[in-house]
């Protein structure tokens, strides 16, 4: 693979279920991010990681958790999905927090 890959592309999930969105990059980028995109609200940062082994909370972290066990992978977990988490989720990476960010193709999640 080249770049940044997200999986799945789309998912319909029952409320209360646990779900992990996967994100992998092969650019050896230090920084990785998870955003959700909702109409009229733009891109809102959920969680970020400046380097492997560290994570931080963004603007809308509640109901989500992340881990960064290695440089390449940055999974996002919804412990118990709720309908308000219906959104398009984008993973992104950059060399550091100041440089060009590369976005994955996105995951369209519907919680019913």
Partner 1 sequence: GQQVMQIPQYQHVQEGEDFTTYCNSSTTLSNIQWYKQRPGGHPVFLIQLVKSGEVKKQKRLTFQFGEAKKNSSLHITATQTTDVGTYFCAGAAAGGGADGLTFGKGTHLIIQP
Which residues bind to partner 1, rule: CB under 8 A? 31-33, 35, 40-45, 48-50, 56, 58-59, 90, 92, 94, 96-106
**Minimal distance, residue 96 CB to partner 1, in Å:** 6
Minimum gap (Å) between residue 7 Cβ and partner 1: 14
> Rounded to whole angstroms, how far apart are CA atoms 20 and 23?
10
The rounded distance, in Å, linking the Cα atoms of 89 and 75 is: 12
In sequence order, what are the residues at sequence separation of 6 or more whose Cβ sits closer than 8 angstroms to the Cβ of residue 95?
27, 29, 30, 31
Query: At its nearest, how many Å lie between partner 1 and the CB of residue 14?
Result: 26
By beta-carbon proximity to partner 1, the closer residue of 7 and 101 is 101
């Amino acid at each position: 693979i080249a770049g940044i890959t997200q999986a799945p592309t789309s998912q319909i999930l029952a409320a209360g279920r646990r779900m992990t969105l996967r994100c992998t990059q092969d650019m050896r980028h230090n920084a990785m991010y998870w955003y959700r995109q909702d109409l009229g609200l733009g891109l809102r940062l959920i969680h970020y990681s400046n380097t492997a082994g560290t994570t931080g909370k963004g603007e809308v972290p509640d109901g989500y958790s992340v881990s960064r066990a290695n440089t390449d992978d940055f999974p996002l977990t919804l412990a118990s999905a709720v309908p308000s988490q219906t959104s398009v989720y984008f993973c992104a990476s950059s060399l550091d927090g100041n440089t060009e960010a590369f976005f994955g193709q996105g995951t369209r999640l519907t919680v019913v």
